[in-house]
Amino acid sequence: MDQTQLHNTQPRILIVGGGFAGLTCAKKLASCDADVILADRNNYHLFQPLLYQVASAVLPSADIAVPIRQVLRNQQNTTVVLDELTGVDLNRQEAIFNNAVISYDYLVLAGGATHSYFGHDEWACNAPGLKTLDDAFEIRRRVLLAYEAAEWEADDEARKAKLTFVVIGGGPTGVELAGALKEIAAKTIPKDFRHIDTTTARVLLLQGGGRLLEAMPEKLGLRAKEDLEQMGVQVRLNSHVTDIQEGRVFIGDECITAENIIWAAGVKAADVTAGMGCKIDRQGRIEVAPDLSIPGFPNVFVIGDLARAVNPKTGRLVPGLASAAMQMGRYAARQISAELKDVQVSRPAFVYRDMGSMATIGRNRAVAWVGGLRFGGFAAWAMWSIVHILPLIGFRNKIAVIFSWLWSYFSLSKNVRLILGTPRVRVKKMIQGLDLKIDRTGKCEK
């Protein structure tokens, strides 16, 4: 593919990223008189709020992902490109991809975010994060393999390490993952194994700050902590991780032995922002003008997790939530559509409308902050379920997720317990014979 193959006389709008922000923008540009190109390195749109349920074996990946071409197939003015952005020349109005250089009249950057290990990228191999389907498959693989290995591990300390799961980060992802991991151990798989008592598995949630869910009111963070502890999760606040090695987490001089470590503590913007020559913050987000454009380049919008935007009504940063990303996508589409019709149209500042936030913790357990109301328990859990069903793309996905949740709710089962790839079970000392029993502490009895 070369530049001339993607050129004609109509104005061209290039959108980079098929997440909530980019896909929303593209859909809103369906009727505009311009060529719209949506480029993404993946061929699917991912519903990230439910990604942890793929990692915890509740949902198959197809239920929370849909091909971008399928979503946009009826938009005659839209072309989908499968490629990865490597740079942007703002002055020449060109975006550089692995296989093409695409010129544009308007550029919408919606590349999203990835994991941030706060300068310790070497931790990634021992503590995977959760941002992509590949991440979810890897976490699910590690968790399920831990139980398979513990089933045949005769060494008590090695078995304890295999049945210890550490989640680092007390935001929504960390809270949801910790609760899901404990439910697997305590309710889903106890009857599946013969030589271990899975209910003895330890789940630790480490939070560097003084409370969980810092973006929510303090009472909800306390409620989440209480709910997790009632489920059996060990919540440790003010616990700053200083090092992660294979099978070990360090908090200062303290060492926690665990063969499953999951990172949910930080995010950063896509790496491409560093080479654009514009002002970025410590997380790599581009500092945008009130209209979400790059200062000095009014035809370049930055939306979603890639943007460091300030809500003029509150003076606070716009949060990295799906609702905020979709609002940004709609705003950018409105401005571009209006300017294609009238170049003199004014640009109002983007104002984020806070739709509230919520996090699920476990069966019948959740916390929610909506419309100034703070509540938890079954009501919050039911609202969380409804709110996460409605934005799913495609009727099949909605029905499939509802059915999976109902089955999981009444049967306490998680049916997507598939270990993909070539599983390799590692044990320090293999159980010899089948005459060993395991007591409630997880120790072998001969």
Q: Is 176 a catalytic residue?
A: yes
Residue tagged active-site, from 151, 153, 176, 183 = 176
SS (H, E, C) the chain: CCHHHHCCCCCEEEEECCCHHHHHHHHHCCCCCCEEEEEECCCEEECHHHHHHHHCCCCCHHHCEEEHHHHHCCCCCEEEEECCEEEEECCCCEEEECCCEEECCEEEECCCEEECCCCCHHHCCCCCCCCCHHHHHHHHHHHHHHHHHHHCECCHHHHHHHCEEEEECCCHHHHHHHHHHHHHHHHHCCCCCCCCCHHHCEEEEECCCCCCCCCCCHHHHHHHHHHHHHHCCEEECCCCCCEEECCEEEECCEEEECCEEEECCCEEECHHHHHCCCCECCCCCEECCCCCEECCEEEEEECHHHEECECCCCCCECCCCHHHHHHHHHHHHHHHHHHHHCCCCCCCCCCCCCCCEEEEEECCEEEEEECCEEEEHHHHHHHHHHHHHCCCCCHHHHHHHHHHHHHHHHHCCCCCCCCCCCCCCCCCCECCCCCCEECCCCCEEC
Question: Which residues are annotated as catalytic?
Answer: 176
